[in-house]
Chain A
Amino acid sequence: MIDSSEHVVDDLAAYALGSLETGEHARVDEHVAGCPSCASRLAEYRGLAGALPLALAPISPPSDLWDAIRSEARRQRLRPRMRSAMGTRWFRAAPWIAAAVVATWLVTWNVRLQSELTRYTQGPQVEKLARRPARLVILTGAAGSQASARVFAAVDGQSGHMAITGLARLPAGRVYQLWFLPKAGPALTAATFTVDADGRAWVVIRVPADLDDTRGLIVTEEAAPGSPAPTGPPLLEARQWR
């Protein structure tokens, strides 16, 4: 049992940011190894530190960088590991087979990139919505689910947008439905949607109630084209926001 006075709370933030003095790492490591609460807090801080770069204006890497990485990886490391993991069959193949595989990878890479850009680049609409004054609500999945959604409800109107990840693709005739749960009165529908093969969707929503008068947001699965009231259990849920 660790006395709370021994906690290293002040050092956890610096540790997560890589700013702790070198000699202090061992002390924090030792404490965290035996203190679940500090270990949990450190993990959260590490997540926050890892999220900081998201705030940077993105810059595309050089177009030939992946080729360079792949070449270097094969030269230095991948070849022996691949041989070990997969046996020598792959490497006994004729050089032209390897060349064909490389070409396929390149094509796949380009197609993949183009697909991502086409699917997610919605131009001025996205930028306009993302710049509007809005309140953020994060919906999380049920226990064990990796699904999540982020709702931006514009403060200057009755609309907003929502990005969803991790939901299962639905069969024909089924849709997901976003609901606002007012503090008083029945659930109000805000959007119906389906997700793509990656489990993602980008949805423009209507905001049927002021968030200050709302006790929760949920996403349920319903029969298409949507239900007048939620019939399924919440698959995503938010009960508090700023």
Chain B
Amino acid sequence: MSVDPAADPDLVGRMRLGDESALEALYARYGGLVYTLALRIVGDPELAREVVQDTFLRSWDGRETYDARRGRVPWWLMGIARNRAIDLLRSRSHQARMRERTAPLPEIPTTLPRDPVDAVVSRRAVLDALRELSEGQRRAIELAYYGGLTQTEIANELGEPLGTIKSRTREALERLRKVLGPLIQAAGGRTS
């Protein structure tokens, strides 16, 4: 039995037919990225493991609901993983949550790991785009995405007006969109 190098939507199509090897192929492609994201959010290898497991089980359960018009398969998986990780984060003790909130922002790595070239190139593009954000913009989107804080919570955390946080978040994504938009679209994220 071979694992076909099929395109992501094809894998989901095979999953819909009950083909377990397609789920395995999906894990082979994105398991590492999901684990990296989960570990960044929950900060605990055992919890990250739980997140990855839940993510792929949910992707199997939710394979009928995946809608390619809403974005690429990896973005779908990242959404599942992020939400599950945030759920776990929120279920932890207040002290643990505060440690997460005050954890230093992820450092931009100075050495790139040895991994698939496309991932290296994509990482470089995203890192470059993030560097173009102001510190305030970067912090706002990281507290939102990795910290799981609502806009109101971010405003309280940073001592800034809610309106400022909302506009700063939008400006950050707009800036990223201008830089990374072609990358997202090239990767199949067209919306229509």
Contacts and interface: CB of A to CB of B under 8 A. Distances in A.
Genuine A/B complex: yes
Interface of A: 9-14, 16-22, 36, 39-40, 43-62, 65-66, 68-70, 72-73, 76-78, 81-82, 84-86, 101, 104-105, 108-109, 112-113, 116, 120-123, 126-127, 130-131, 136, 138-141, 146, 148, 150, 152, 161, 163, 165-166, 197-198, 200, 202, 238, 242
Contacts of A166: 7
Nearest to B18: A85
B98 interface: no
Given A44-B181, A48-B184, A49-B75, A57 B57 contact: no
10 closest residue pairs by CB, A with B: A50-B75, A85-B18, A19-B144, A148-B186, A61-B35, A47-B189, A43-B191, A47-B184, A53-B37, A120-B116
B126 A55 contact: yes
B98 to A, nearest CB: 18
Contact of A13 (B56, B71, B124, B170): B170
B187 A148 contact: yes
Contact of B180 (A48, A121, A127): A48
B37 A130 contact: no
A202 B117 contact: yes
B23 interface: yes
A105 B18 contact: no
Given A56-B106, A57-B113, A73 B32 contact: no
A216 B106 CA distance: 36
B2 interface: yes
A216 to B, nearest CB: 14
A133 to B, nearest CB: 10
Interface range, B side: 35 or more
B27 interface: yes
A116 B31 CA distance: 14
A198 B180 CA distance: 24
29 contacts: A11-B166, A12-B170, A13-B173, A13-B174, A14-B151, A17-B144, A19-B149, A21-B150, A36-B192, A39-B191, A40-B191, A40-B192, A44-B177, A49-B79, A50-B74, A50-B76, A53-B36, A65-B31, A69-B27, A84-B18, A122-B117, A126-B120, A136-B128, A146-B7, A148-B186, A161-B121, A198-B5, A200-B118, A238-B182
Contact of A46 (B17, B75, B117, B128): B75
A72 B52 CA distance: 12
A51 B117 contact: no
B144 A14 contact: yes
Nearest to A128: B112
A53 B172 contact: no
